[in-house]
Structure 1
Amino acid sequence: MDKIRELASKRAAVIFTKSSCCMCHSIKALFYELGANPAIHELDQDSRGNEMAVALRSLGCNPCVPAIFIGGQFVGSTKDVISLHVDGSLKQMLINAKAIWF
């Protein structure tokens, strides 16, 4: 869990993914479309990936990816982020965290 918190706090937007996950790809594309440049951590390409996946599940992220952090805070997974985007609050969260500027 410490590694997750450390990585999540280093950038305004952080996404934990797996390279073969189509929903991860969609979330990354959404962030890029909004103008954010999130830090991407591919769990399947990290030696501590399995350990981090367990930690993400303990946060309530099931499946464990994508797991999205904004401003160092856990936002959720795909469903949560899409809900925030639909209601218009995702963009404001990214602005507040200084992940995008408008």
Structure 2
Amino acid sequence: MDKVQRMTREHGVVIFSKSTCCLSYAVSILFQDLGVIPYVCEIDHESDGKEMEMALIRMGVNSSFMFPAVFIGGLLVGSTNEVMSLHLQGSLIKLIKPYISGLKSN
């Protein structure tokens, strides 16, 4: 659990994923389009991936819709549905504003 908490503290936007998760990829691209380069941790490539998965569940990640598990500013936002809902409401930009790199291309 310490590793997961450290990652969410050290990086503004963190996406916990599995390498085969297309929804995680889509959420990552959304953040990039909004000017944020998220830290993506593919737990299936981590030696302690199972422990990380259990830590995410203990932190409140829904085990039925586990990936992507998105954290912004150290706080759990949720999965794809929650991120897209925030985006459609116009609230996502407010959450990620401190992490926008200024390198946004449009």
TM-score (structure 1 length as normaliser): 0.90
Give ranges in structure 1 of 5+ residues lacking alignment: none
Question: Hey, what's the Cα distance between the residues in 1 that align with 2:79 and 2:6?
Answer: 19
**Are the counterparts in 2 of residues 14 and 68 from structure 1 also a CA contact under 8 Å?**
yes
Which has the higher Rg, Structure 1 or Structure 2?
Answer: 2
3-state SS in 2 of match to 1:81: helix
1:88 and 2:94 equivalent? no
Amino acid of the structure 2 residue aligned with 1:12: G
1:22 equivalent in structure 2: 22
Amino acid of the structure 2 residue aligned with 1:83: S
Question: Hey, what's the Cα distance between the residues in 1 that align with 2:71 and 2:27?
Answer: 12
Amino acid of the structure 2 residue aligned with 1:91: I
Which deviates further from its counterpart, 28-37 or 50-59?
Answer: 50-59
Question: Hey, what's the Cα distance between the residues in 1 that align with 2:95 and 2:101?
Answer: 11
3-state SS in 2 of match to 1:40: strand
Percent identity reads 41
Question: Hey, what's the Cα distance between the residues in 1 that align with 2:94 and 2:28?
Answer: 17
**Are the counterparts in 1 of residues 17 and 43 from structure 2 also a CA contact under 8 Å?**
yes
Off by >6 Å, runs of 4+ in structure 1: none
2:5 equivalent in structure 1: 5
Question: Hey, what's the Cα distance between the residues in 2 that align with 1:13 and 1:60?
Answer: 16
3-state SS in 2 of match to 1:32: helix
Give ranges in structure 2 of 5+ residues lacking alignment: none
1:53 and 2:53 equivalent? yes
Amino acid of the structure 2 residue aligned with 1:13: V
**Are the counterparts in 2 of residues 14 and 40 from structure 1 also a CA contact under 8 Å?**
yes
TM-score (structure 2 length as normaliser): 0.87
Question: Hey, what's the Cα distance between the residues in 1 that align with 2:75 and 2:5?
Answer: 9
1:67 equivalent in structure 2: 69
